[in-house]
């Protein structure tokens, strides 16, 4: 009986592992993590910042899909990293293009804080 239980558990684990493409939440795949609860205002900021994402409408749609995957409206999240520079508010981790990352590196080398450089390069690049 004990051997059968172990076999069933092992098979279940293999099926689950295969269903997630061999990924686990510990691997950092955001699709496997629970969505963070944020306020309506925070959610609206996350969606609004998608207008600056990458190049074109496809990049904006991908950004909006990531927001929907990672966040849900509920109570305000005091741990969500929000900042405002140059009249633009952004929240969360910004997914920067290669050019935007180069801009951040250059701006930081010239003395700008990394947080500010990320926002300015994301918005104006």
- Same domain for 44 and 28: no
- Same domain for 64 and 53: yes
Q: CB neighbours of 39 closer than 8 A, spacing ≥ 6?
A: 73, 74, 75, 76, 77
- Same domain for 1 and 25: yes
- Same domain for 43 and 98: yes
- Same domain for 24 and 8: yes
- Same domain for 63 and 23: no
pLDDT of amino acid 18: 44
Q: CB neighbours of 7 closer than 8 A, spacing ≥ 6?
A: none
- Same domain for 54 and 107: yes
Range of the domain at 7: 1-33
- Same domain for 19 and 56: no
The DSSP code sequence of 10-68 is HHHHHHHHHHTTT--GGGT-GGGSPPEEE-HHHHHHHHHGGGGSSSHHHHHHHHHHHHH
**Positions in the chain short of pLDDT 70:** 1-32
């Amino acid at each position: 009986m004990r051997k059968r239980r172990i076999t069933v558990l092992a098979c279940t684990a293999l099926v689950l592992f295969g269903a997630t493409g061999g990924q686990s939440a510990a691997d950092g795949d955001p699709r496997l993590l629970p969505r963070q609860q944020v306020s309506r205002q925070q959610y609206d900021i996350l969606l609004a910042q998608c207008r600056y994402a990458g190049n074109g409408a496809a990049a904006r749609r991908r950004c909006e899909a990531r927001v929907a995957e990672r966040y849900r409206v509920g109570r305000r999240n005091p741990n969500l990293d929000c900042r405002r520079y140059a009249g633009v508010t952004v929240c969360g981790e910004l997914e920067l293009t290669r050019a935007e990352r180069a801009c951040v590196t250059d701006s930081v080398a010239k003395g700008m804080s990394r947080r500010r450089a990320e926002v300015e390069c994301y918005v104006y690049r």
